[in-house]
Amino acid sequence: MRAMELQAIGGPLRHVEREVPRPGPGELLIEISACGVCRTDLHIIDGDIRDHLPVVPGHEIVGRIVEKGPDTPGVSIGDRVGVPWLGRTCGQCRYCRAGQENLCDDPLFTGFNRNGGFASHCIANTAFCFSIPGQFSDAEATPLLCAGLIGYRSLRLAGNPRRLGLYGFGAAAHILTQVALWQGREVYAFTRPGDTDGQTFARALGCVWAGGSDQAAPQELDAAIIFAPVGALVPLALRAVHKGGRLVCGGIHMSDIPAFPYADLWGERALLSVANLTRADGEEFLRIAAEIPVETRTHDFPLEQANEAVAAVRAGALQGAAVLIPPS
C-alpha cells in the first residue's frame, strides 16, 4: 500500500510504501477511492492535538471493502463505505452507556491514533462505517463524512434558529448552508476580511448576506456557529447573537478566546462546543444530505500531492473541499 505519512510535528507528509494490513475481528480492509482533507488534519500536522507518530492522517474516507475480518456481519466484499473521524469507542464508559459515544473516554480516531485515509488502503471497524448514498460520487461524498457531519451536529446544538450566522466559510459551511436553507432558515456568512470570492460563493449558495468577520451582522442572529479555529471570533459572534441565542464552536481546536465582558454573555446566551460525532448523527445526516440533495464542491489532488492539498486548505484558497485520490 501507499500512504502519505506524518513523521514529525510540523513536517511535511512523506510518501511511504507498506505491506497491506490485514483486518482483525470486527474490522474491514478498505481500498480507498477518495479522502477529503479536513481542518482537523491541519491541527494534527501542526501538533495542536497530539498522539503517537508516525501516523497517516485523513478521516473523510470513501472506499470499497476488499477483505473482512471475523465477526463483520451486514457488509459484503465490494460494498462502498465511508469511514469517519470516530473509529471506535469502548462501549463501557459512562458516556457510551448514556448514548454519548462522541464523548467516549477511550476512543480511536481515524487518522489520529489510527492510520487514516491519506493512503491506498486502511483498516476500519465495521460498526463505525457508513453506507454512502448512491447519488454521491466517491469524491463528492468525502466532505460529508466530517465537514458535513460536524456541521450538522453543530446545527442541532444551535437550537431552532431562523437567522443563523456561519463564521468561516469553508467545506463545512458550504454544506451546512444547503441544509439550513432546505430547513427554511436565513443564513448569514462571515468570511475572512477581504475574501470577496468567498462572499460571492456564499451568496451564490443562497446566503441572504455575506461579509467579513470584522463586520457587524445586518440583523440580530438567533444562533451562530464558528468553524474557523480563531478564538477571537467568539466575542464578536456573541455580540451578534440576541438574548437567549446560542453560539456553537464547531472545531476540535481553537486558538485562545480573549477576555470579554460578561455583558456579552448575559441575557441567557449560551456558548458551547461540539465534540466528535455519534453514529446516529451520521446516519441521520446522510439521509438528509441525499434527500436535499446536498451538492459538494470538491477539488481533486493526486495522493502524492497531499502536501499541496494541505497548503491549499491552510491558505483558505479553495471554495469547497480538497480531496485526495489514490492511484488506481
Q: How many CB atoms lie within 10 A of CB 300?
A: 13
Amino acid at 82: G
Asked if 200 and 207 touch (Cβ cutoff 8 Å), the reply is no
Phi-psi region of 217 (alpha: psi -120 to 50; beta: other; left: phi over 0): beta
User: What pLDDT does residue 144 have?
Assistant: 97
| Distance, C-alpha 210 to centroid of its chain | 22
Contacts of 315 (CB under 8 A, 6+ apart): none
Per-residue pLDDT of the chain (328 residues; tens, 9 = 90+): 999 999 999 999 999 999 999 999 999 999 999 999 999 999 999 999 999 999 999 999 999 999 999 999 999 999 999 999 999 999 999 999 999 999 999 999 999 999 999 999 999 999 999 999 999 999 999 999 999 999 999 999 999 999 999 999 999 999 999 999 999 999 999 999 999 999 999 999 999 999 999 999 999 999 999 999 999 999 999 999 999 999 999 999 999 999 999 999 999 999 999 999 999 999 999 999 999 999 999 999 999 999 999 999 999 888 889 999 999 8
Pairing of strands 80-83, 130-131: antiparallel
- Cell numbers 448569514 label which residue? 188
Q: How far apart are CA 328 and CA 215, in angstroms?
A: 46
By residue count, the chain amounts to 328
**Which cell numbers hold the place of 318?**
479553495
Asked if 148 and 294 touch (Cβ cutoff 8 Å), the reply is yes
| Distance, C-alpha 167 to centroid of its chain | 15
Which of 127, 129, 2, 126 has the alpha carbon at shortest distance from 68?
A: 126
Q: How many CB atoms lie within 10 A of CB 24?
A: 11
Which of 14, 20, 1 has the alpha carbon at shortest distance from 120?
A: 1
Q: Helices 171-182 and 147-157 sit at what angle, rounded to 10 degrees?
A: 50
| In the chain, alpha helices (H) | 39-46, 94-97, 138-141, 147-157, 171-182, 196-205, 233-240, 279-291, 306-315
User: What pLDDT does residue 172 have?
Assistant: 94
Q: How far apart are CA 38 and CA 111, in angstroms?
A: 11
Asked if 145 and 124 touch (Cβ cutoff 8 Å), the reply is no
Q: How far apart are CA 190 and CA 133, in angstroms?
A: 30
Q: Taken in order 130, 133, 137, 139, is the CA torsion positive or negative?
A: negative
Catalogue the E-assigned strands of the chain.
Answer: 2-6, 13-17, 27-37, 60-68, 80-83, 86-88, 108-109, 121-125, 130-131, 163-167, 186-191, 209-212, 221-226, 241-249, 270-273, 298-302, 321-325
